[in-house]
Amino acid sequence: MSRYFLDIAYNGTAYHGWQIQENAHTVQAELEKCLSTLLRTRIEIMGSGRTDTGVHATHQIAHFDMEGHLPDDLVYKLNSFLPRDISIQSVRKVHDEAHTRFDATQRSYQYFMHQAKSPFLEKLSYYHPKVVDVPLMNEAAKKLLGEQNFESFSKVKTEVNTFICTIKEARWEKQNDSLVFHVTANRFLRGMVRALVGTLLDVGLGKLTVTDFVNIIESQDRRKAGRAVPAHGLYLTSVVYPDSVYRD
């Protein structure tokens, strides 16, 4: 039995998130169906983490186990079978104990917003026409760096052992009429990025000061933080592993 990592991209608009659910259309279910058909055996995959309904990914990683050798043209065949909103970028052989969720050392997300109305960005970026103070949002975003308790930005009633995360990057970038929030951490809580963006927007709109933002982090109370922004602006963009997990 050999283990493989798949590098996957998808537009999440039509899906109820990554993870298989009963009576729901999910990315994981589509991939398992296509892999099982092509490899003529029951294949189950494990993703590096969940993405919620409507969230996209440019680099999601999933692993699966397979007896024998994979076809050389598996990536081509998968992309022929899969719907147009899911694509496979690569498949790599890894060590048998490698795990896409537990071996990841860091993950990165980007949240996209546009401030000039565009029909071409619908469901791919969050339309937010109000003027925001980007330098002030970046000043607040710096307060996120390092190891901290981020319970204030987690979905409630979520089963985790700890709310501690280490954020390595958190910054806003302005690109013409668009804004992009970049965030990288060793791990993320459920709903964390969307809640961070919503709260930072409150800073940019003058509803909160940077000091207020710090107080929200320290409160460890989701009720103190801002709203979660819509899912369709969020993209999982990178999952990083140590070189030691790969066989090639």
Under a CB-based contact definition with an 8 Å cutoff, are residues 140 and 206 in contact? no
Q: Which of 7, 52, 103, 202 is catalytic?
A: 52
Beta-bridge partners for 7: 61, 90
72 is catalytic: no
- Tokens coding 14: 């039509």
d(CA 16, CA 52): 7
| 88 contact partners, CB below 8 Å, separation of at least 6 | 6, 7, 8, 75, 78, 79, 82
Burial class (CB in 10 A: 0-12, 13-18, 19+), 47: buried
From its phi and psi, is residue 52 left (phi > 0), alpha (psi between -120 and 50) or beta?
beta
C-beta separation of 38 from 70 below 8 A: no
Q: Which sequence positions are flagged as catalytic?
A: 52
